[in-house]
Chains A and B, each alone.
Chain A
Amino acid sequence: MNLFAYTILAGIMYGIFFGLVGLGLNIIFGVLKMINLAHGDFIMLGSFLAFWLYDLLGFNPLLVIPVAVVVFFLVGVPLYYLFVPRLLKSKDPEMLSFILFFGVSQVIEAVIIFSFGNNQRSIPSNVFGAAGFDIFGQRFPSAWLVTTLVSLAAFAFVYWYLHHTRMGYATRAVMANRDEAMMSGIDVDRISAFVFSMGLALAAIAGVFSFFIIGAASPSMGPELTTLSFAIIVLGSLGSPLGTVLGGLIYGVAIMFMQSYFSSWADILPYILLIAVMLFKPEGLVGKAARSA
């Protein structure tokens, strides 16, 4: 019973974090209808930013969040204007963007290996104190609590942005229909560039805290994280940012149970979940059909 309770609670905390892992990919998909295949690599960049700031300047991971937001807006806006308008005009934006972001992912990975070497990096999980905390008689590391709270805050922010700001209204209009949003006078490119950068920044924030949940960061972890994030967002619902948290929770609890009871097969879970959901419930658990052939 003890293991069971531990598994459920840890699964919920993991799940909320995994929601954050998929969130950036999902809001970019919502606005651009493009899959950012370099998503996992932006998570990895966040991890390396956090590691670097911690190692050199002793930054607390929480302080890395504002840095990540600034950095990834500075990266995201030019990246958007460089690639996306051109892609949207092409013959097959969906497929071409997919291949293009794959190229971006290769470039990021190579550049990070050049600058940091192909090694694993980590931040000790006692940066938030070694004490740990108790829930229902189970003891968990403090880093998990901090990670869960940060992830919840990110979701709260996205909710507030989408439902309580003017730009958020415009964003939802672009999500619903890009052309009609443009005709009603919304500066679609400005909104898209903003949301694109926000997606990258959210990926990076997930990267900052990935040390405490996923473990050490390595330059080549990107593609695996992209597939995982994709599994999570299809589970929740493509293009519906807040559905991501549901996908994350299901994945988190499932992976915890696999690790507790069938550990040698746990790695295979995201792939099987992804294929199963795509084939049998392609519209996700909440949301509308978007992708049948």
Chain B
Amino acid sequence: MLKKYFPSLGVILAIVAIFIGLPHFYDNQSFLFNLMLYLALAEGLNIIYGFTGYLPFGYVGFFGAGAYGGAIAITLLHISPLLGVLVGGVVAVLTGVILIPLLRLSGAYFAIANLAASQALYLVVANPSLEKITQGPYGIDLSSVYNANAGYFAMLGVLVFAMALVAYLRNSNFGLSLLAIKEDRVTASLAGVNVIRARSIAWMLSAFVAGMSGAVFGWYTAVFYPSTVFSLDVSVFTIVFVLFGGIASVAGPLIGALILYSMYNFIGISTPQYFQLFYGLLIVLLVLFLPDGVVSLLKKGKVYVP
């Protein structure tokens, strides 16, 4: 029964080994941190987009909600940063609960409404009239609890959690029922799937991952602004990584994020426009020629993708 989890488990262990081992040979910790961050976000987005087909253009809303939720809990309630990470996840889930009605919209309408919701959240958080709580546009300072190594391993923990969730969905009946909803909602409900419950759970799990990632990001960076943690780029990067790798598997989003984020870091960081151009063209070409991502090539070669 548990045997079907072995390939996914192998992938997870490999990733853990990489991120524990690599700091000994490669000293750019912040690059490795950001790479893990995007791996976790890609898996989180995979939960909702890969398994249910809802494309969350405002995924960054959860990320920002988590970053702010965690940071405010740490500064105002004086809790430990690790607990703050959990609070960040919970705040994102609560945001997700408020947005559950959006799941009534289909396809592109959902995507745009979600984008609007994340922008609205950004404008609320950054609003000068809320300066007492959120510091408005002036950003958050967490330097009193700054601890780079602890943050690094917290991020690894979130990443493992995200991968484990996807591994569960990839191999369980629940994941299968989500895929059935994506394929045909009416048929799935006739076959006994509780559509509304299932998609809401997927939505909240996805929000939880993004929220915890946001909170760890806030802790690790120590100083951040609303424009950083609500930047549309976070959604865009994550979506491109997932599309490039391939949806609804553990390995797909990991492959996409590993390849593209490394490229971005080594080529594009000095002149982001080159990368914007490259990403734009990549999206167009992917949609036209490889809509199922890189892993679809492996599947064509009869290789099992965990």
Contact = CB atoms under 8 A, between A and B. Distances in A.
Interface of A: 35, 83, 86-87, 90-92, 94-96, 98-100, 102-111, 113-114, 118, 223, 227, 230-231, 264-265, 267-268, 270-272, 274-275, 278-279, 282, 291-293
Interface residues of B, number: 44
Contacts of A100: 283-284, 287-288
A98 B108 contact: yes
Contacts of B287: 87, 96, 99-100, 103
Nearest to A98: B108
Nearest to B119: A271
Contacts of A111: 277
Interface string B230-242: 0010001001000
B267 to A, nearest CB: 14
Given A104-B280, A110-B280, A275 B120 contact: yes
Contacts of A293: 103-106, 110, 185
B contacts with A: majority SS: helix
Contacts of B111: 98
B291 A90 contact: yes
B279 interface: yes
B291 A94 contact: no
Contacts of A278: 102, 105, 109, 113
B106 A275 contact: no
B106 A292 contact: yes
Given A98-B55, A106-B277, A275 B113 contact: yes
Given A113-B273, A293-B106, A106 B112 contact: no
Interface stretch (B75-83, B85-93, B121-129, B210-218): B121-129
Interface string B264-302: 000000000110110111111011100100000000000
B119 A227 contact: yes
Nearest to B281: A107
Given A267-B123, A278-B102, 6 more contacts: A35-B108, A99-B239, A264-B129, A272-B120, A275-B102, A275-B120
B260 interface: no
A264 B128 CA distance: 8
